[in-house]
Amino acid sequence: MKMNSFYPVVMSQDVAKSADFYQRYFGFEVVYESDWYVSLRKTGEGQCFYELALLSASHSTVPASYRKRAEGLILNMEVDNVDSEYKRLVLDAKLSLEQDIRDEDFGQRHFILSDPGGVLIDVIAIIPPSEQESMNYVQSVWQQEGAAADN
């Protein structure tokens, strides 16, 4: 299968409020906007871009038994400096902190926020994993990065 695009569509009780949140705090821009659906895009490095869509949970395109807020979903956002994002988003902006900043043995330093609709947002910086956890990686990415830095 050839895919042209892949992006999450998150159901929201208040599409406008959720869209404002992602624009204000994460730099997304509106590509399409209606009262029931907002398509957002953020430009990354080079040709890379990130997409996120928000859909009214009560819209007729959603099967009736699924017309509720999103549950069981975490949006991961990898950043260069998780500590500065923690200061900006948690200490300065006072966003809803669901899990405080911490290091994980599997190779992440992160904290978890929630958006206005209760969707979790995991803000992450990649750090070297513990020696035990590094054995779980299929590729030896940590050795490759270290070797590349030495050259």
User: Domain spans of the chain?
Assistant: 1-59, 73-151
Strands (E), 84-126: 97-104, 108-114, 120-126
In this predicted structure, the answer to whether residue 73 has a pLDDT above a threshold of 80 is yes
In this predicted structure, the answer to whether residue 150 has a pLDDT above a threshold of 80 is no
- Can you give the pTM of this predicted structure? 0.86
Question: What is the rounded average pLDDT of the residues 114-126?
Answer: 96
CATH architecture of 1-59: 2-Layer Sandwich (3.30)
In this predicted structure, the answer to whether residue 145 has a pLDDT above a threshold of 60 is no
Question: What CATH number does domain 73-151 carry, 3.40.50.300, 3.40.250.10, 3.30.720.110, 3.30.70.360?
Answer: 3.30.720.110
Q: Are 126 and 77 in contact (CB under 8 A)?
A: no
Question: What is the rounded average pLDDT of the residues 80-99?
Answer: 98
In this predicted structure, the answer to whether residue 63 has a pLDDT above a threshold of 70 is yes
Count CB atoms within 10 A of the CB of residue 125: 19
Q: Are 39 and 53 in contact (CB under 8 A)?
A: yes
Can you tell me whether residue 89 is helix, strand or coil?
helix
Tell me whether the CATH fold assigned to 1-59 matches the one assigned to 73-151: yes
